[in-house]
Amino acid sequence: MLELEILGSNATAPTREGPASCYLLRTATGVLLVDAGPGSLLAYCARHDLADLRGIVVTHLHADHSLDLMAWAYRWTFPEKLAQIPLFHPEGETERLAAFDAVFGIPTLPTMHRPIGQSFRAVPMPRDGVTVHEVDGLSFRSFAAHHSVPSAALRFEAPDGRVVAFSSDTGYCAPVAEAAREADLFVCESTYLEADEQALHGHGHLTARMAGRLAAEADARHLVLTHFADPADWDAGREHATEHFTGPVSIAVPGSVFPAGAA
């Protein structure tokens, strides 16, 4: 079994629709959190038991994908210390995580000097498309997305061959298409309906049309659009993506669940 649950999908900050970027992969035996955007801990606790969480994977360290890491670390330590789980992050971001800990660590509490470092077992992910990580029976690899900080597109594979891929934040680039190759579900950012060259190819984002093109190039089976700058763009974004992608296109509405392989 492999299911994708959308906890939050908004770019930049939570809205009344839900948190910023955070997703769950649900297996028969546990839950994996992909991105820890603001609002993710609250949304998770409303629907799931903390004891079911097997690991956290952060695609990149922009705040809308990672700000709640500190909230997760505090909760992982207090009032009771929970069993350590892995925290996967793009290679090269160890210092930035340490800086986060330096700001919010609590010198008078021995278990919270470095809340993230002490709560989770940090695992750097080389974005080489080759190195395989494993958690809760899922294997996954990380690919070099094009973004203003090290950004990891992700490809998760279940033992039965089902695949869920995430673009992370990215411009249009070959490694992300490779991550999404024939994926049952491809969760792809579509920050804009229209944007200028700097936003798309400099900073690194996609329009909904580009997300559709990328899904078509990857031969993905089901495209799930996420990370809209404005939820008001959901319907237009879906229309734009279908200009290029002939398979099913869904919107990552918070609370929705997509079984992998059952598009």
Contact between 169 and Zn ion by CB under 5 A: the answer reads yes
Task: Decide whether 62 or 162 has the Cβ nearer to Zn ion.
Answer: 62
Nearer to Zn ion, 59 or 250 (CB): 59
Residue pair 145/88 in contact (Cβ under 8 Å)? The answer is no
Q: Closest separation between CB of residue 123 and Zn ion, Å?
A: 21
Minimum Å distance from CB 130 to Zn ion?
Answer: 24
**Looking only at residues 52 through 91 of this chain, which bind Zn ion when binding is defined by CB under 5 A?**
62
Measured from the CB atom, the residue of 5 and 169 that comes closer to Zn ion is 169
For position 93 contacting Zn ion by CB under 5 A, the verdict is no
> Residue 109 CB, nearest distance to Zn ion (Å)?
31
Question: CA torsion angle for 24, 25, 26, 32 (degrees, to 10)?
Answer: -80
Least distance between Zn ion and beta carbon 60 (Å): 6
User: How many residues bind Zn ion, per CB under 5 A?
Assistant: 2
DSSP secondary structure of 160-201: TS-EEEE--S--S-HHHHHHTTT-SEEEEE--BSS--HIIII
Cis peptide before 79 (omega within 30 of 0): yes
Nearest CB to Zn ion, comparing residues 30 and 90: 90
Tokens 């900050």 belong to residue:
13
Separation between Cα atoms, residue 166 and residue 222, nearest integer Å = 12
Interface ranges with Zn ion (CB under 5 A): 62, 169
